[in-house]
Structure 1
C-alpha cells in the first residue's frame, strides 16, 4: 500500500509538470519597481516607523564668542569657547571642527575643484583662519594639540570625552580677512554710505558625530551646505560706533546700542502689523542716529537651541520692523536692513512685509516659528539662510524679492528646525523648502506673485534631457546646471504630486506635519522621511521613492484605446516610461455627463498594460489621463483618447 501511494504521488507530480510546461511562459513583471531602494529596517536609534528610537542620541555644543570687526582692514578678530557634550554611547578620542573660512585660500579643496570658468561658488583667495592660544580640556586634562586640514580641524585629547554625557571644552583665538566674494553666502558690499558686511561661517564650529557615519567631515567645497548640531549661542560683536548690527537671536543690550528714539520705535514695531522705521532713510549716517560719536560699540546677542548664528554690520543700513503673529500666544519681530540703493516700494521697503507674511504662513501651517526675530539683510548675496537671519540680493525687487525672501525664511523649517544633512542631501532642505514655498506664494496677497514651481509639467525639458541627473546625487557632485532641478524643483514637484495626486491633501498634510514635529531639532536621514511618510499615511510608496528620488526614470502614462463591448467599454492604458503611477481617468460621455475613474498603482505590478471595463449604456466621447495635470508626465500627447 505504501508503494502504491508513492507511485501515485510521483505520477501526480509528473502530470502537473507536463501541464505547467504546456502553459506559455509568463512575461516579466514589474516587481522591481515596487521593491525598496535602500535598507530601511529599524534599530534602537531609528525606528522602522520613521521616528527616533528608544536609544536615539545626539551631541550638542554651546558657544561663547567675542569678535571685533575692523572696517579698515576688513578683519574679524576674536575668541571662542565651545562646551561640547558627548551623548553618544562611545567615548571620543578627538573632536572634529569646521573652519569654513579656510575655503578662501588658494590651495583649498574648494578652490582646486572649481572649474576654470568659475561658478556661483567663487571666493576670494586671501582669507583663511589664523588660530592661536588653543586648548582643549576633557576628563580633567588639557591638550594643546590639533591638526588643520583644509576646512577641517582635528582636536586631539589627552583623555577621551566620556560616553553618555561626557563634556569637553575647546578654546582658541582666531582671525581672518572677510572675503568680498564669499561663495554667494557671505561677504562684503560697498555702497555709497559704507560697507555692508554679511557674516556667516564666521567662527569654528563642531562637526556632527552621529549614529550613521560617525564624524561627518565632508569638506566645504561649494554647493554642499551645512550639517550642524544644536546648542546655545552667546556672542558679542564689537563694531565701529556708526555701524548698525543685526544678528541671529535676541539683542541683549538694546539700551546700550540704540538711541532713545530708536528704542521707542523698536517698541512700537513690536505692536504694529504695519512696518515701522527704526532708522529712517534720511537718518542714515547722521550723528543723531548714534549712541556715541567715536570708537566702537559692542552688540550682544543670545540664541538657544539653534544650529548656527549669523550677523550683519554696516553704517549704511535703513532699518524697519513689524510684528509677526506666530500663534495665539506668541508674537515676534520681522525686520529688514538695507541701503538707500535698495529703498523703494518696488524693492526693499516691502521686505519686512514679505518676511512677516512668509514666517507667519509657515508658523501657522507647519510648525510654530521658534525664534523671536526674523531679519532680512540686503547684501551682495543672491540668497542664503541662517537661523532667524537671511541674506538676500540688494538688487532684488518685486516678485524676485518676494521669492528669495520667502525661500530663505522657509529654510528656518528645513534645515534649521528639521536638521538634515545639507552637504549630502540637498533635496531634504532645498526641495522640501521649495515645496512649502509653492503654497506660501499661492497664499500671499491672494496670489500677487506666481509660484516658482507652477505646474509640475514644466519639468519636461529637464526630465527628457540626456544630461539629467538624479535627486540623490550629492550637491558637490551634481553638474551645477542641474542642481536647481535635482535639489529644488524635482523634489518639490514630487511632494506636490504626493500631496495633490497620489495621497490627497488630508493624508499628506497629516504625515508631513508629523514628520516635522517628530524630527524637530534632530537629524533625520532619507530613510527616516520615507519610513515616516509611509507609516503615517498607511501607504507603501517604495515605487515612488525609487522612481522619482533615485535615478533618472520618468513618468509617461498613455490612454491607448477605448473599445466598445457589450454593456460597456474596455479602456486600455499603458505605462510607457519606467515609473508606475496611480491612474486617474476623466471619462466624458456624449450626453454631457462625466465620470472619474481612479485606478491604484498596483495595476502595474504584473506588467505595463492594463484594461479596465467601464459598464455603461451610454457612448464615450473621450478618456483623459490626469485631467488636472498634477503629474510630471513627459508626453502629454498620449494622455487623451477621443472618438
Structure 2
C-alpha cells in the first residue's frame, strides 16, 4: 500500500492485526489501541482529521492512522458483520491483494464483495468524516390498547383524575373554604351528582354492540394485553451506528436488542423503535458492552442517571494585599542591611 498517501492502510491494518494477535497471546493483554472505548476522547475532540487524509495533513498521527482505523475494523468485526463473516472477507482481501499495491477503494470494495453486505454508510462515516458516535435516549412512550370496556376504562380514568386532583395546589388550598351548597342544599341540581366517569347501563349496551361489530381477528387484537413502548433515540454525534439496547423489565429479566444501522436510512438524526412487552420496562441502556465507541455515555440511559464526578477539598492559602507585600519587602531589606552592618562591625573589631 502507499503509506505516504494512505498511512492507515499500513499502520492501521497492522495495529488491528496486532490487537487480534495480542488477544490470542495472553488473557487481558494491555492493548492501548483497538478497543472502542479507547478512541472516544479523540473522536469527540475538535482536532480530528478524517482517516482518509494525506499523511502530511494529519493532526495526530497515532490516533488518526493507528488507533481509529484499528477501532473501526474492530467495530466492523464485532458489531456490524460478526467475526465469522468479517474474517472470511478480510482473508479474501489478503489473498486477492497479496504482493500487490491496493488502495483504499480496493479494500472497501473487496470487503463488501466478499461479505455481501453494503457498507457504504460505514466507510463514509468512519473513514471520510470526523463525526462521532453519540446516541442518546430522547424519550420513551408507553401505549396500551383501549379496550372500550367501560368497566375497565372509566375506573382507570377516574383513578388518574383523583391522583391529579389530590396534588393540585389550588384545589388543596380551596378545600377548607366554606361552600354555599353545604349551607343551602336547594342549590344542588343534577350536575352536582353527575359524574361522566360513572359506568351506566347505556355504556355497557354500547360496548356490547361494539363487540358484535368486530371480526374474530379484531376481537383477538382487542383482548391483547401488551405494553407498546416507543423508544426514541437521537444521533447527536452524527456517525451512523448500529443500536444496541439493554432492556430491563419489572420482573428483573433483561433482554438485548440489536438493531442494524439501516434503521437510520430515512432519518439520520432521530429514530423510533417499537417494543412490544408483557411486562413494564424499568430501564434501558444504549451500548451496554462498550462496542460502538459512544463518546458520551451519560445520555445512554433511561431513566437518566446522575452524572458522577469527584472533587478535591483544598485549603485556601491566605493571600496578602500589595501594601502588606510592600511592607514585607521593606522589612526584608532592612534585615539584610542590618545583617551586613553586623558582619562589618564584627570584622572591624577583629
Q: TM-score normalized by structure 2?
A: 0.61
After superposition, residues 593-632 of structure 1 pair within 5 angstroms as: 593-607=253-267, 608-632=269-293
Which of 586, 593, 596 is equivalent to 2:246?
586
Contact 2:34 2:70 in 1 (8 A): no
2:103 matched to 1:443?
no
Q: CA deviation at 1:476?
A: 2.1
CA distance in 2, matches of 1:613, 1:469: 37
Contact 2:89 2:110 in 1 (8 A): yes
Contact 1:442 1:450 in 2 (8 A): no
CA distance in 1, matches of 2:126, 2:18: 20
2:7 matched to 1:426?
yes
CA distance in 2, matches of 1:559, 1:538: 32
Deviations 1:439-490 (A, max 9, x none): 211221334x4112263122222112222211111112223xx000111000
For structure 1, which runs of at least 5 residues remain unmatched after alignment? Answer: 1-419
Deviations 1:362-399 (A, max 9, x none): xxxxxxxxxxxxxxxxxxxxxxxxxxxxxxxxxxxxxx
CA distance in 2, matches of 1:446, 1:580: 32
Deviations 1:341-375 (A, max 9, x none): xxxxxxxxxxxxxxxxxxxxxxxxxxxxxxxxxxx
CA distance in 2, matches of 1:642, 1:553: 26
Q: Whose RCO is larger (CA < 8 A, sep 6+)?
A: 2
CA distance in 2, matches of 1:436, 1:492: 8
1:635 corresponds to? 296
2:144 matched to 1:484?
no
CA distance in 1, matches of 2:282, 2:104: 45
CA distance in 2, matches of 1:549, 1:455: 17
2:230 corresponds to? 570
> What is the number of residues matched between the two proteins?
221
1:497 corresponds to? 75
1:458 corresponds to? 38
Q: Runs ≥4 in structure 1, deviation > 3 angstroms?
A: none
2:195 matched to 1:535?
no
Q: Which has the higher helix share?
A: 2
For structure 2, which runs of at least 5 residues remain unmatched after alignment? Answer: 145-225, 305-350
CA distance in 2, matches of 1:486, 1:578: 18
Give the match's secondary structure for 1:434.
helix
Deviations 1:152-190 (A, max 9, x none): xxxxxxxxxxxxxxxxxxxxxxxxxxxxxxxxxxxxxxx
Give the match's secondary structure for 1:633.
coil
CA distance in 1, matches of 2:73, 2:138: 28
Bigger radius of gyration, 1 or 2? Answer: 2
Deviations 1:391-424 (A, max 9, x none): xxxxxxxxxxxxxxxxxxxxxxxxxxxxx11111
Give the match's secondary structure for 2:57.
coil
